[in-house]
Amino acid sequence: MPPATNPMARDYIGFGVVTVSFAHVLSEHGASGVSLGSLRRGTVVRVIERTHIVNQGRTETWVLAESDYGEPGAISRGWLPEASLDIFNSEGRANTASRNMIQ
């Protein structure tokens, strides 16, 4: 399991591509978060922070992600389960993966 990342270590961890049909974005990680909406499969986000929580005896990894897309009603920042993303070290690789995924 990857270590939790200190958000001050750098500006971002990498770039994520949503791999599920719809990923629900929450205001907080875990069950206490309020839904902010959802992102579609193939959406590219910048991953800012990673954290681990224990939920009913199971460890879950969550990421804080943000989008630059500025579309009306778009989600700009929120928490997603890491299992709903593939994370890449460059935006170019994430964009290529996204294009291949939605073809």
Task: Please state the pTM of the whole predicted model.
Answer: 0.81
Is 7 within the bounds of a domain? no
* pLDDT at residue number 7: 46
What does the pLDDT look like over 42-77, one tens digit per residue? 999 999 999 999 988 999 999 999 986 555 556 589
**Which CATH number characterizes residue 18's domain?**
2.30.30.40
CA–centroid distance for 56 within its chain: 22
Higher pLDDT, 96 or 55: 96
- DSSP-derived 3-state class of residue 85: strand
Beta bridge partners of 46: 15, 66
Q: Give the total number of structural domains in the chain.
A: 1
Instruction: Residue 89: give the domain boundaries.
Output: 14-102
Is 75 within the bounds of a domain? yes
- The answer to whether the CB of 16 falls within 8 A of the CB of 45 is yes
Indicate the residue type of 28.
E
* pLDDT at residue number 19: 96
Beta-carbon count within 10 A of 1 CB: 7
Average pLDDT, rounded, for the chain: 85
CA–centroid distance for 22 within its chain: 12
